[in-house]
A and B are shown apart, each in its own frame.
Chain A
Amino acid sequence: MRRYAAPLLFLLPATILIVLFFLIPVVTTVFLSLTDISTVTFKNPSWVGLQNYRDLLVDPFIPKIFYNTGRYVGLTLLFNVGMGLVLALLTSLIPERHGDNFRTLWLVPRIMPPVVYVFVWQGLLARAPFGIISDLTGINQGWINSSPWTTIILANGFVGASFGMLIFTSAIRAIPRDLFYAAAVDGASTWQTVRRVVLPLLRWPILFVTVYQTLSLLTSFEYILLLTDGGPGLFKTTVWSLHAYKLALSNYFGNIEFGLGAAMATFLVVIGVIVSLVYMRVFNFRELVSEPKIEVN
């Protein structure tokens, strides 16, 4: 027991945090999802078992929302990780001073409050004379409503790419210079160096960014809420988390269905856990965190 005292002590703060902010909310959410709690039944909710889940299964719009979620996460992830990688590589290849300036520029969307950031997009994409794009192109339309998916993915992607960019840049900088010299001596072109030296060494950061971004995209909806509010039309850009939020916390006319919203949130937790497990398997997580076979001093 004594042997474990120190590790347990060190694990304690993290464990407390996980219990407080993950386990307890998950248990509460699962519990709520088994009741019919809503504004109307708030004082006397009844136990409905799996009824909320059954309601979700027969909801004809759920497949669409599920598909939207996959589309949103997949495409935004592709943009985030791809763009992050491209930016990291490009800014590492140019002189450091310029690279740093360029990266700082890409951080602007991230440090901007989401509401202000969305105002900028709205200013770009509204109808003339309010929108700059309509003014410049002469095609007067509400660009957000006419291309809602492109808008959402770009708006999210511009914020998300900077995250990958920073992680990848630091990972590239951590690659021992000797490897680049060796590649140069062997006559490798820039592309070959990137392909054969840099990318294989970025596997761990790419896994980390991909997993992190997937999970955060699954639960993020603030830009969609502010840009399209899940529309136009019937759930055109509504994703799972936005729908859960609307059911559980937002309704113009005031009737809120916590139980149903909680069922959707529970489903999201399950999806998140499954996705994490799949990623760990695909990227061979065990090997990545194993002790190095050689030690370089």
Chain B
Amino acid sequence: MKAKWLVIPLALVMSLALAQQTVVLKAWTIGPDDPSITRMTNLQAAAEKLNADLAAEGADFRIELDASFDSTDWDPYLRRVLLAFESGEAPDIVQASAALIGTWAAGGFLAPLDSYVPQFEQFADMVPTLWDSVTFQETIYGIPQDTEARPLYFNKALLAQLGWSAEEIASLPERISNGEFTWDDVLATAKEALDKGVITEGNGYFHRPKNGPDFTQWYRSFGGQVFDEASGRLVFNKAAALRYYSWLAEAVSAGVLERDRLDGSWDRYHQTVTGGDVGQVLFFSGGTWNWAEWTGMVADKGGQDWLFENFGFAPHPSWQQGGSPVTLSNPQAYMVWTGSENKDLAMRLLAYTTVPELDAKHAVDSGHLPILMSTPGIIDDRFTAEVSYLLNFTTFQPPHAELSKWQDALYQGVSAVESGDLSPEDAVETIAAVMQRQLGDQVIIR
């Protein structure tokens, strides 16, 4: 009789011991563009698959993914991540620009992943050069999540109004690619469009309205070098910077570039670019992901069909005839926090996320480019197919822990020149002095 009473607590204890455990994995992701929500939903889809496999394996635990997607802005997101790193309460997985790996790895916040990568066959499908973007001091600190290109878009309808023939418009990307059409031609064309009233003042050329990695590619397109591989130091090329700043100053004084282009408003950028019947800006630098955003914005005008009819894309031209055009890829990566207690599971989840189906879904839905070699084979999307060639001209941001200071200084120069604060010559000297002071022997000024 007594034994009967023992059975109940025993059964309770047994059932508790055998109960399925739940391992919570936290992941933070960011767009900030809305369509990039697949950076989170792909993780969720992978988690479902992983749980199904865990069930099949008879594992006594399941994972629960606590994921968030940030659509505000980089600055508050990065601050949140950093404060979480520092307070020891970071998520297991953080997605951010691969270029941040240098800084965060140097700070000791990221787990080295070299030993994990060979364990999962999914990673063998990665486009090989992308591993470079997540490698800092010969150690892998991230799993590439996507990549993209940052094209120079042009408005076909406005070029047609300017008198360009259909052939001339169609051949523009090729003429830029082979170095025939330069930044000077962009400026001359924009001036002509302004003189002929095809565009209104300031709408000849748009670039992003705030700080970002793109300024590096434009400096490069004017012949600038950012990084010296041999010494591992950053480089500031004064002659190239002067060419870039002078071009901006001339564009502003000619009335084809707004003096207050750096007004911080993406809304105004997008609304002007896609405004009116055919769009209102002649040339505009953007990213491939903008295409996905614009598709939503012009839905009532015809969506992608309207975009293909009115917008074209090319790499950014060189400053000189016969020079090489450039674009910049700023790949995103998933990183694993060094303090995570579930690094193995986090890596397994990332392996499940790095598969062609999810890669393709993200690429097509958000206007990014695939990271896996087998993905293009399963994608049937005109934009992805047509824009992918830009990767032939792509450059990456260099892996340097102090890169941010270099980028901030270059950007301050742009802002000073466009606002009329400094002449291009003074800006170059000022920025060179700033870099020298802040970076010391970590920068070579030429």
Residues of A in contact with B (beta carbons under 8 Å apart):
39-44, 58-60, 122, 126-127, 130, 140-142, 144-146, 229, 231-234, 236, 249-256
Chain A residues with Cβ under 8 A from B418's Cβ?
A: 232-233
Closest Cβ of chain B to A156, distance in Å, is: 18
**Is the Cβ of A40 less than 8 Å from the Cβ of B260?**
no
Query: What are 20 A-B contacts defined by CB distance under 8 Å?
Result: A40-B103, A40-B107, A140-B201, A141-B260, A142-B259, A142-B263, A144-B263, A146-B259, A229-B210, A231-B262, A233-B422, A234-B421, A251-B78, A251-B404, A252-B211, A252-B404, A252-B407, A254-B104, A255-B404, A256-B82
Given A253-B403, A255-B401, verify A232-B79 contact (CB < 8 Å).
no
Known: A43-B108, A234-B422, A251-B404. A229 touches B264 (CB 8 A): yes
The one of A40, A146, A229, A234 in contact with B106, judged by C-beta atoms closer than 8 angstroms, is A40
- By a CB distance below 8 angstroms, the chain B residues around A229 are 210, 264
B180 at the interface (CB under 8 A from A): no
**B212 CB contacts on chain A under 8 angstroms:** 252
Closest to A146 in B: B260
Cβ distance A63 to chain B, nearest Cβ, rounded Å: 14
Q: How far is the CA of A90 from the CA of B22 in the complex (A)?
A: 68
Known contacts: A39-B104, A40-B106, A249-B79. The answer to whether A234 contacts B430 by CB under 8 A is: yes
What's the dominant secondary structure at chain A's contact region?
A: loop
Question: Is B297's beta carbon under 8 Å from chain A?
Answer: no
Contacts of A234 in B (CB 8 A): 412, 415-416, 421-422, 430
Is A254's CB under 8 angstroms from B82's CB? yes
Q: A146 vs B82: C-alpha distance in the bound complex, in angstroms?
A: 35
Contacts of B401 in A (CB 8 A): 40, 255
Chain A-chain B contacts (Cβ-Cβ < 8 Å), number = 112
Select B421's contact among A44, A142, A236, beta carbons within 8 Å.
Answer: A236
CA distance A44 to B416 in the complex (A): 36
Say whether B258 faces chain A, with CB atoms less than 8 Å apart.
yes
Nearest residue in A to B406 (C-beta to C-beta)? A253
Chain A residues within 8 Å of B103, by CB: 39-40, 253-255
A41 / chain B contacts, CB cutoff of 8 Å: 107
Of A43, A58, A252, chain B has the most CB atoms within 10 Å of the CB of A252
Enumerate chain A residues within 8 angstroms of B405, measured Cβ to Cβ.
255
Chain A residues positioned under 8 Å from B415 (CB to CB): 231-234
B residues 389-438 with Cβ under 8 Å of A? 401-405, 407-408, 412, 415-416, 418-422, 430, 433, 437
Chain B interface residue bracket vs A: 35 or more
Complex contact B82–A130 (CB within 8 A): no
Given contacts A252-B78, A256-B82, 14 further A-B contacts (CB under 8 A): A40-B103, A40-B107, A42-B107, A43-B107, A127-B258, A141-B260, A145-B259, A146-B260, A231-B415, A234-B422, A251-B404, A251-B408, A253-B99, A255-B404
Give 7 nearest A-B pairs by CB, closest first: A233-B421, A253-B404, A145-B260, A142-B260, A232-B419, A233-B419, A255-B404
Q: Please, which residue of chain A has its CB at the minimum distance from the CB of B420?
A: A233
Whether the Cβ atoms of A42 and B79 lie closer than 8 Å is no
B86 on the A face (CB < 8 A): yes
The one of B100, B201, B268, B412 that contacts A253, using a Cβ cutoff of 8 Å: B100
Which residue among B78, B260, B262 has the maximum number of chain A CB atoms within 10 Å of its CB?
Answer: B260
B87-132 interface (Cβ within 8 A of A): 96, 99-100, 103-104, 106-109
CB-defined contacts of A231 to chain B, threshold 8 Å: 262, 415, 419
Cα-based distance from A44 to B107 in the complex (angstroms) = 9
Q: Which residues of chain A are within 8 angstroms of B277 by Cβ–Cβ distance? A: none
